[in-house]
Structure 1
């Protein structure tokens, strides 16, 4: 599997730094994971957006899905698409409110929301806890600890595995989900402190402890907000986990 980072700024974009978005590829299949602020531009710099094979969202906060509206404009109105978006409707896997929320974001006004339908260019699927197959990938989803409906994922292909925390606080099921993975892609939004809100985000220490407890092969740290000291977050992760710790970079690719 090849993981390419379209964006990794946490909670809000930073200077020339898109928010959460990833491209996971295997067997010629292109799976987008999240599509936050600025990621559509980043995707177009490296891939044809009409050749995306599926999109997967962990939750519906804007830093994870804001650029979906721009993608809708491209899929509906581009005069010369490389692949007909109405013939090749894009499968979109989302929490239950996804279709309604995306319609509201794209509708010209509130009065037309109820009659706007994006099924001309998308094929929506609701995520529930459990295991599904998207293209060549086997994906297991569990509920995460976050203020809205949110999921963490374990993604497997060809004997390799990736766990992605999404946005979450600490909870025991996350260790089980990530146990033995080759790569743990973990958010870490702040440094550790007992005054941090629960069921919201992980610290660098939390991410490192998760990687250690899960016996993950490698820890990729993402979703660090532009106002957070990223060096301190990475130092915490390395103090808690003795394996390889990498702060992901926008535009970088990682083989799994």
Structure 2
């Protein structure tokens, strides 16, 4: 099981870093893409055929889903290599309607994606089997319906945890418990003091969650381009004495 960062810029893409998107690939099963923010489809093309992946959405803010309509175009209309069969898509309840509006030809119409994706809605705590892995969604603290995702690979016992976008809550400790890799957002930088509540975490809060959950490696992601990455990493390390790394495009774990 290999994790590749397609993009991890917080809130907006930058010239050198797409918005949120993470590719998990396997030797003998379709890949899984967790979130598909602006710029991630171009990055995905550098690593594999975009048609050969299931897609999981943590939530439907633009920086986590906006490349999906372009993926539908690729899957349906590529002249030599369109999608050979349907893949799976999981996300919040409104995913088909919300993203269907973005790809419809007529204003207010909803494009039906069921020709190329089989959709299922997340339910907090309900574990889903997706080929080689189990994925469990955990409700996050964010202004819209949002799920942090825990991915378990039975063949190796490895665990990837992804906070998605969430304010700090110890309800996410079970999400990351014992994870080999914890992708955790740290959009507020070193501290969340004085920031809007119920939105994001700081580096210090990400480090605190990693410590409480006993993770192996903390990967800080979703840092906004106007922030201070060095201070964010330092704040995480002050809370967590395990490995702390800053997520960057094309990072492979």
Instruction: From 90, 93, 96, give the equivalent of 1:96.
Output: 93
Q: How far is the alpha carbon of 1:27 from its aligned partner?
A: 4.0
Task: Identify if the C-alpha distance between structure 1 residues 231 and 92 changes in structure 2 by more than 3 Å, giving closer, same or farther.
Answer: same
Deviations 1:144-183, CA, capped at 9 Å, x for gaps? 0000000011111021111110000011210122121122
- After alignment, is 190-199 or 220-229 more displaced? 190-199
Alignment of 1:64-143 (within 5 A): 64-81=64-81, 84-85=82-83, 87-110=84-107, 113-114=109-110, 116-129=111-124, 130-143=126-139
Counterpart in the other structure of 1:22:
22
User: How many residues are matched?
Assistant: 248
Q: Which has the higher contact order (CA 8 A, sep 6+)?
A: 1
Aligned-partner Cα distance in 1 for 2:27–2:127: 20
* TM-score, length basis structure 2: 0.94
Name the SS of the counterpart of 2:123 in structure 1.
coil
Return structure 1 stretches of 4+ with deviation > 4 angstroms.
Answer: none
Task: Identify if the C-alpha distance between structure 1 residues 210 and 117 changes in structure 2 by more than 3 Å, giving closer, same or farther.
Answer: same
Which runs of no fewer than 5 residues in structure 2 stay unpaired?
A: none
Which runs of no fewer than 5 residues in structure 1 stay unpaired?
A: none
* Cα contact 2:68–2:99 (8 A) shared by 1: yes
Deviations 1:129-150, CA, capped at 9 Å, x for gaps? 1211111111111110000000
Name the SS of the counterpart of 1:17 in structure 2.
coil
* TM-score, length basis structure 1: 0.93
Counterpart in the other structure of 1:154:
150
Counterpart in the other structure of 1:47:
48
* Cα contact 2:167–2:201 (8 A) shared by 1: yes
Q: How far is the alpha carbon of 1:15 from its aligned partner?
A: 2.0
* Cα contact 2:170–2:209 (8 A) shared by 1: no
Aligned-partner Cα distance in 1 for 2:184–2:248: 13
Name the SS of the counterpart of 2:129 in structure 1.
strand
